Structure 1
Amino acid sequence: MLPELFYRSWVPQRSKLTLVTLHGAGQHSGLFRDLGTHCSQQSIAVYAPDLRGFGQSKGKRGHVYSFLEYLEDLDHFIGHVRKIHPDDPVFLMGHSMGGTIVVRYGQERRSSVQGAILLAPALKIRPFIPKSVLYPLYVLSRVAPELSFDLTRWGKALSAICQFEFSDTISEDADPLSINRFTARWCTELLMNARQAMSRANQFRIPVLCLCGEEDPVVDPAAIEQFHNLLQVPDKRFLLLPYAKHRLLQDHNRQHVYEHIMKWLKERV
């Protein structure tokens, strides 16, 4: 059953393309506010849903039984946006976990979207998660899938999954819409789908721009470059941003990130 998804939108009077953006783990659509405002001033309509179980959308907090639920939600949301903008080309953008969803959507649904922007997609989490942590996690995913825990208290190996840097954690007190508790099933679904995204890279046939930070402490830039190199789509671009970390849209260099995004989109309209 599809939950009701809350979403934010930034829509100009006349749009020439529509961008659907997906946030990362623990976050919500509000983090696209500045980008949405910037894009709308460039005649680009931006729609940013809160993923199920995040932000103001319905669903158990930080939980899915299957990653396919995210793909189904995205499919229906794109259909909703197309009804509003029937003449616009539609592009996707995903940050971190949102990037993984975009990749898996492109692999599974063979969507008719015109392109995708991947911002530090969670294709390989770092630091490496040892088997001593993974084994009990997969057991819990089978026997107690809805058991939730605070990943920031499990050390760097698991806290990286929810993209929180210890030095820069978004606390629930500072942002009540953010979360850092996730279920065992959610964790294993993210990890399994990140592996599938990499192993099935040749099935992703959408024009794509991949951006990642040189100093990203959460996802491995080398894995993102490897994914890019494995793609069999001719229209692809990989950019490694010097000194940038994980949250590219909140980074001190975010204006450069905006410029890369806008240039790439405008070249394809």
Structure 2
Amino acid sequence: MLDLQYKNIPINAWYARPKIVRGSIVLVHGFGEHSGRYMEGVIPRLLEENLAVLSYDNIGHGKSGGKRGHCPNYSSLLELLDNIIAKARLLNPNKPIFLYGHSMGGNLVLNYDLRIKSDLAGIVATSPYLKLAFAPPKWKMILGKLMLKIIPSITMSSGLNPQHISRIDQEVEKYIADPLVHDRVSPMYSFPIMEAGEWAIQNADKLRTKTLILHGTGDKIIDYRATEKLHNNSNSTELHLIEGGYHELHKDVGSKNTLDMIGIWLRNRLDLFYTLK
């Protein structure tokens, strides 16, 4: 465990380290969930590639502080990510650093590279939250925009259907039973994330870091066509569409192949880093 704070908000962060460290990877979870959900499957696969993994629960999520589903503003999420990256550099100086973001985490890692000048070795984004695959009720959007001006911290149900995270029933059951998973969202969390997603699509040509993007064509939560748009606007991305894949590809049918694809891509980037050094 790492003892971290962001402007008096306690942040639950932790660190997993292989015997030989070739590089570091900062993992950013999705909305309403937490970093502990990556302990199975994802973290062991990253450690296999000799990557030290640093992860954390975002503001208002998991074991971190803050009102569930609320954050001060979007820039606070990027600032916190920047602090975590600085911590990763401190723990393993002179080693390449990667970012890995799922869903909302994908939105954050892409926007981080677009907005903050940094020296990253590569980015992995799975099912990045660029645009919702469903249209929230009109009344909810109108009310939300009004609340953003009056009470930006008020939370409502996100409307996410847990059945849509995976085609594996057991994974859906685990998600529903997890006491740290929530479906609360404030206007200050949802609207800026949506805007940042649209902005990332429009500005994807400015993406500097080589980026691997994976998205399932069966994702009913986040629109894979928005991911395609971002990819078409950029020269730095490699896109793999997983036919029929649901939102959480790392917990879906074929997850081993998905994680191997990520692992091999990261290994190749690491090899390239040490070849050029």
When normalised by structure 1's length, the TM-score is 0.89
Corresponding residue for 1:182? 185
- RMSD over aligned CA atoms reads 2.1
3-state SS, counterpart of residue 10 of structure 2? coil
The corresponding residue for 1:31 is: 37
- Name the residue aligned to 1:137: 144
- CA displacement at 1:130 relative to structure 2: 5.7
SS in 1 for 2:119: coil
The residue type paired with residue 242 of structure 2 is L
Question: 2:123 aligned to 91, 116, 124, which one?
Answer: 116
Between 1:70-79 and 1:224-233, the stretch displaced more is 224-233
* Structure-1 residue corresponding to 2:210: 207
Distance 1:243 1:166 in 2: 12
Which residue of the partner structure matches residue 265 of structure 2? 264
Q: Which runs of 4+ in 1 moved over 6 A?
A: 170-173
Q: Does 1:194 align with 2:197?
A: yes
* Aligned counterpart in structure 2 of residue 218 of structure 1, from 209, 216, 221: 221
Does 1:13 pair with 2:19? yes
Give the CA deviation at 1:116.
0.4
Is the aligned partner of 1:96 residue 2:103?
A: yes
- Give the letter for the 2:39 counterpart: R
- Paired amino acid for 2:119: S
Q: Give the aligned partner of residue 56 of structure 2.
A: 49
Once residues 137 and 180 of structure 2 are traced to their aligned partners in structure 1, the CA distance between those partners, rounded to angstroms, is: 31
**Residue of structure 2 in register with 1:243 after alignment:** 244
Contact 2:165-2:248 within 8 A present in 1 as well: no
Cα separation, partners in 2 of 1:82 and 1:164, compared to 1, 3 Å: farther
The answer as to 2:114 corresponding to 1:107 is yes
| Distance in 2, Cα, partners of 1:59 & 1:3 | 6
Structure 1, 72-81 or 102-111: larger mean CA deviation: 102-111
- For normalisation by structure 2, the TM-score amounts to 0.87
Separation in 2, partners of 1:72, 1:216: 29
Aligned length: 259
What is the deviation of 1:222? Answer: 1.3
Counterpart amino acid of residue 165 in structure 1: H
Counterpart in the other structure of 1:146: 153
Secondary structure in 2 aligned to 1:186? helix
Unaligned runs of 5+ in 2: 1-6, 271-277
Q: Report the counterpart of residue 253 of structure 2 in structure 1.
A: 252
2:80 to 73, 81, 100: 73
Amino acid at match of 2:115: E
Partner of 1:155: none
Q: Which amino acid aligns with 2:93?
A: P
Partners of 1:102 and 1:117 in 2: CA distance:
8
1:32–1:48 CA contact under 8 A, matched in 2: no
Per-residue deviation, 1:129: 3.7
1:4 paired with 2:5, answer no
